[in-house]
Structure 1
Amino acid sequence: MTATKDPAFTPTRSLKGSLGVTAIVLMVVAAAAPLTVVGGAAPLGILLGNGVGFPSLYAISAVVLLLFSVGLAAMTRHVPKPGAFFTFVGYGLGKPAGLATAFLALLTYTAIQISVHGYVGYILSVTVTGLGGPDIPWYFYSLIVVAIVGFLGFRHIDLSSKVLGVLLIGEVGIVLVLVGAVMMSGGAEGLSLAPFEPTNVFSGAPGVGLMFAIAAFIGFEATAIFRDEAKDPSRTIPRATYVAVIGIGVFYTFASWGIVMAWGPDNVVGVAADDPGAMILVTTAKYLGAVGEIIINVLLITSMFACVLSFHNVITRYQHSMSNAGVLPGSLGRVHPKHLSPHTSSVVQTITAGILIVLFAVLGLDPVLQVFTWFAGVSTLAIALLMAVTSVAVIVYFAQTRLDRRPWNTIIAPALGLLGLVGSAVIILVNFPLLVGDVDADGAPAFGLVSSILIGLIVLFPLFGLVQAQVLKRRKPAVYEHITEAISESSEAAAPVAPVA
């Protein structure tokens, strides 16, 4: 049956725009922070994960997420609503599941944004002090970045996409130049495919390495969130999703392979162990000289800025969609008459980020070892769970509606992606304590207070959504009926099958 309009449900103003494939890809790839991943996560993956074989995990993760993307793209064509996970799970598995997913998504994107805010504050503090400037605590720099991001997020999305585009080109360009220099020199021990040999792929702790690999892709799935601001949603969103995941996968695999070749399979783990945080700078200094090292240090900062700006845009649009569905305050659904942005949602997100940074400063948390590492771990596990649930929703939705009868798009690819995501989530959960330093006397992962609290957040947020759904069903049935109906102009043009009750 088709969705019906309820006079008691009045949609708020919708977002508008003309973003093409390139603009959307730039925003979601910027969220993945390519240089931050290559310079920060890759050395840790090499050191703590499977060593020389770590680049292969990017390729494996890309295949799993590409399979997931097939179902995501199919849903985008048949459910013309913004909201991504929130809406798709609601249509496939029912309104309570959709609302639970929405709150878990908010936790995911807020956690990754806050983690990077801590890291960029630390990097700015160290950089300024190293140049002879005043020794100012990291959180002051983090708050300055929060304010700048808030200003850009308040304005039209086109401004953010242009800023992100410039920053992204710079950081991707310097990495490609670095890898090119490594290839031209032949590397430290000659060029080889050692990172992809089975003995290296399964060496060390591949489960830990997989955590870092999957975390590097967080953000690519957000293409569907920009549906209302896309030029031609039914074509733009699927294409942008495929381009994003394939592009990210190829780039990370190639770049991390280049780092291994720069030091050689026999030496790369030792170099990473010396100082994983400075590995990319040392590698650049070796192959591109002092000037290259300065350039990449600056671009590392801008990479983190691009990341938090992109996730700010994602979170504000999630809040906007949830507001339009009636599950968050109506003011969050307002659209600025001039900038056509969800400006109120942007202001709320800016205030939220600022409050959390102040809270972490008061608690005395380390910006890298605690703020960055802890909350990046939360977002990594949460995103794997989100995508796994969405894969189930895709399969159920098309089995019930029969709107798309292509087996590969609606059953096979989503099922294969689901298997990969569930396996990844289990591996991440088992190794999660390592991210926060909770280990037993033998150094094995053991859930302690910190890791239990962080895992508790992943349980608490969706539980809140389930409870709210039941409350709405009893007290506000009109709102409950439209939980997944994140109204937009594009949704008015079609009448998809109503979501599961």
Structure 2
Amino acid sequence: MATVSDPAPPPAPAPEGHRLTGRLGVGAIVFMVVAAAAPLTVVAGTVPIGIAAGNGPGYPATYLVSAVVLAFFAVGFTAMTKHVPNAGAFYSYIGVGLGRGWGLGSALVALVSYVTVQGAVYGYIGFALGSLVESYGGPSLPWWLWTFVVLAVAGVLGFRHIELSSKVLGVLLVAEVGIVLVLDAVVVGKGGTDEGLSSAFLNPTEVLSGAPGLGLMFAIAGFIGFEATAIFRDEARDPDRTIPRATYAALAIIGVFYTVSAWAVVSAWGDSAVVAEAAADPGNMLVVTAQDYLGTAAGDVMQVLFITSLFAAVLSFHNVLSRYFFSLGNTGVVPASFGRSHPEHSSPHVASLVTTVVGAVLMAASAIAGLDPVLEVFTWLAGIASVGIVGLMLLACIAVVVFFRRTGVDRRPWQTLVAPVLGVLGLTAILVLLVENLPLLMGGSTALGIGAGVLLLVALAAGFVLAAARPSAARDLVRATRSDAAPQI
């Protein structure tokens, strides 16, 4: 007869001054993580590139494929939520499943990934904001000046209580998603071009034409941010329920939105013309589409909302990164002061300031080096982040399988074995594509591509060194592993 060993006592609650508070519901968390995915930025920037360089009119199907693979990841990720001791997201899940070395290595990879993806968006928004001001007759200023303005605003909002950020992100997200949905509806209502609405994404021949691997690579990058729901665990109303629901909701919203919007863009130009148009002017393709179907004013509004979409992404990544620093401060990985919360705002104010400083240093270095804000800062840093975060998702899937096989605390086959294994297979294929094409993401430089890969591997390996050198770091992961003791016969 099976008996279960007595669980070890849970970790002691964090002392006053080291806690985050909030009553975020599913909607608020979904707003923050979907905003991090920057839906308008993806539709305006990535979709044209995916069509031109990927699989043409079949490109919308790559979002469906990506969503399905990430759904497998989400099943195991959410099943493990109540067994994870803190809001460390990836590193906590991986550490509980695979051990402290893997967990600490994953924490360092996550820091590198979120620092670089935030830096990528900072570079892009500085360029875009400067271009917008100039187009309306404003002064011509260096991109980095605008970037530092945005850095300051994000820093102020990140210093305050999380609910302020969630309200700002909610307004911005509704606006950017709203105008794209209006465009989608009008394109569908008019039946697209004379060719009619596109059906290429349903045709396997079209989906596999061109370079479907490149298409999938661009598509998966558009989902970065949805996995960060778990980082808001301490500020969620009911984390064991809120986090899983928010994860599924965010993935469904992003997946459906991207697929429908990419299909609408293809339909707006027609299967026969869309590739040529996307290749000729990818940066302005969505604005031109809006002008054609909604009028000139809509194109102007789209340009402004593109800026707010980038800002929403910056603010979301700032919140995620500051909570990583906060969690690591409370587990002894980084200085303990990082894990202090503000007495009035209950925010990770020290970690938020650190996040602002790190972003400022990275952008200052980019400016001093004379890097192009889009072709170099954005593409290089986004390339590093894409590989890093997909790699973390893969490790998280493996950790889920190992954890439930070892502990037996949940024996549901779909949640604990089948879906995570399918996630491992899908994410492995995607990671191979990303690594093979990393030089492309890094501006075509093989040396930079190799350097980016080495950086991430060094960060992962450093976790094992840190685990050996600092036995007290992230000990909560060990306690959590022991508390879920396997059933005994």
What TM-score do the two structures reach when normalised by structure 2?
0.95
Deviations along 1:29-80, whole A, 9 cap, x unmatched?
Answer: 0000000000001111111111111100000000000110000001102224
Shift of 1:6: 8.4
Residues 208-260 of structure 1: CA distance to partner in whole angstroms, max 9, x if unpaired? 11111111001111111100000011110000000011111000000000000
Q: Does 1:14 align with 2:19?
A: yes
Distance 1:429 1:479 in 2: 31
Give the structure 2 partner of residue 40 of structure 1.
45
State which of 390, 399, 404 in structure 2 corresponds to 1:398.
404
Q: 1:11/1:206 Cα in 2 relative to 1: closer, same or farther (>3 Å)? A: farther
Inter-partner Cα distance in structure 2 for 1:480 and 1:163: 33
Moved more, 453-462 or 105-114: 453-462
134-143 or 75-84: which moved more? 75-84
| 4+ residue segments displaced more than 6 Å | 9-12
Distance in 1 (alpha carbons) for counterparts of 2:482 and 2:448: 46
**Residue 290 of structure 1: which of 286, 296, 311 is its match?**
296
Residues 241-296 of structure 1 show CA distances to partners (whole Å, capped at 9, x for unaligned) of 00011111000000000000000000001101111011111111111111100111
Q: Which residue of structure 2 aligns with residue 182 of structure 1?
A: 187
The answer for the alignment partner of 2:476 in structure 1 is 482
Name which of 306, 316, 341 aligns with 1:310. 316
How many Å separate the matches in 1 of 2:333 and 2:32? 26
1:324 and 2:330 matched: yes
Check conservation: 2:398, 2:420, Cα contact below 8 A. yes
Q: Measured at CA, do residues 5 and 268 of structure 1 come closer, stay the same or move farther in structure 2, by a change above 3 Å?
A: closer
**Contact 1:91 1:498 (C-alpha < 8 Å) held by counterparts:** no
Matches within 5 A, 1:362-401: 362-401=368-407
The answer to whether residue 166 in structure 2 is matched with residue 135 in structure 1 is no
Alignment match of 1:157 (pick from 154, 162, 165): 162
Confirm whether residue 215 of structure 1 aligns to residue 202 of structure 2. Answer: no
| Matched ranges for 1:57-96 at <5 A | 57-96=62-101
Contact in 2 for aligned 1:89/1:97 (Cα 8 Å): yes
Q: Secondary structure of 1:337's partner? A: coil
Mind listing any 5+ residue stretches in structure 1 that lack a counterpart?
Answer: 439-446, 486-490
Match of 1:454 in 2: 452
Structure 1 residues 58-103: Cα deviation after superposition (integer angstroms, max 9, x where no partner): 0000000011000000110222421111111111100010000011
Between the aligned partners of 1:153 and 1:89, the Cα distance in structure 2 is: 27
| 5+ residue gaps, structure 2 | 1-5
CA distance in 2, matches of 1:483, 1:233: 18
Q: Which residue of 1 aligns with 2:113?
A: 108
How many residue pairs align between the two structures? Answer: 479
Name the CA distance, whole Å, in 2 between partners of 1:119 and 1:192.
31
Show the counterpart of 1:27.
32
CA distance in 2 between partners of 1:214 and 1:19 (Å): 27
Task: Tell me if 1:470 matches 2:488.
Answer: no
Counting only pairs closer than 5 Å after superposition, residues 153-302 of structure 1 correspond to structure 2 as: 153-188=158-193, 189-302=195-308
Structure 2 match to 1:349: 355
Conserved? CA contact 2:20–2:346, under 8 Å: yes
Provide the rounded CA distance (Å) in 1 between the counterparts of 2:474 and 2:18: 20
The Cα of 1:127 is off from its aligned counterpart by 1.0
Q: How many Å apart are 1:498 and its aligned residue?
A: 7.4
Please name the residue that 2:484 is paired with: 497
Q: Amino acid of the residue matched to residue 64 of structure 1?
A: V
Verify the 8 A CA contact 2:99 2:477 in the aligned structure 1. no
**Offset of 1:5 from its aligned partner?**
7.1
The 8 Å contact of residues 56 and 275 in structure 2, kept in 1 or not, is answered as yes
User: Does 2:116 match 1:118?
Assistant: no
Distance in 2 of aligned mates of 1:419 and 1:429: 16
Query: Which residue is 1:358 aligned to?
Result: 364
SS at match of 1:482: helix
User: What is the distance in 2 between the residues matched to 1:193 and 1:159?
Assistant: 42
User: How far, CA to CA, are the matches of 1:292 and 1:234 in structure 2?
Assistant: 42
Question: Is 2:61 the counterpart of 1:56?
Answer: yes
2: CA distance between counterparts of 1:437 and 1:344?
35
The secondary structure found in structure 1 opposite 2:59 is helix
- Contact 2:10–2:483 under 8 Å retained in 1: no
- Asked if the contact 2:407–2:485 (Cα under 8 Å) also holds between the matched residues in 1, the reply is no
Q: Deviations over 1:107-157 (max 9, x none)?
A: 111111110110010001111111111110101001100100000000000
Q: Percent identity between the aligned chains?
A: 52
Give the letter for the 1:119 counterpart. Y
Q: CA deviation at 1:482?
A: 3.4
Q: Distance in 2 between matches of 1:482 and 1:167?
A: 37
For residues 184 and 246 of structure 2, what CA distance do their matches in structure 1 show?
26
Distance 2:176 2:247 in 1: 21
Residues in 2 aligned to 1:10 and 1:259: alpha-carbon distance in whole angstroms:
52
Structure 1 residue aligned with 2:3: none
Amino acid at match of 1:452: I
CA contact (8 A) 1:35 1:172 kept: yes
Aligned partners of 1:151, 1:3: CA distance in 2, in Å?
41
2:428 maps to: 422
Displacement, 1:459?
1.4
The 1:437–1:495 alpha-carbon spacing in structure 2 relative to 1, beyond 3 Å, is: closer
* 1:78–1:496 Cα contact (<8 Å) kept: no
Task: Output the amino acid matched with 2:325.
Answer: Q
User: Structure 1 273/401 Cα, relative in aligned 2: closer, same or farther at 3 Å?
Assistant: same
Question: What is the rounded CA distance, in whole Å, between the counterparts of 2:304 and 2:67 in structure 1?
Answer: 28
Does structure 2 retain, via aligned residues, the 8 Å contact 1:14–1:335? yes
CA separation in 2, counterparts of 1:174 and 1:6?
47
Cα deviation, 1:186-215, whole Å, max 9, x if unaligned, reads 111211321221011111111111111111
Structure 1, residues 355-410: CA drift from partner, whole Å, max 9, x if none?
11110001011111111111111111111110000000000101111111100000
Specify which of 311, 336, 341 is matched with residue 342 of structure 2.
336
CA distance, structure 2, for counterparts of residue 141 and residue 17 of structure 1? 32
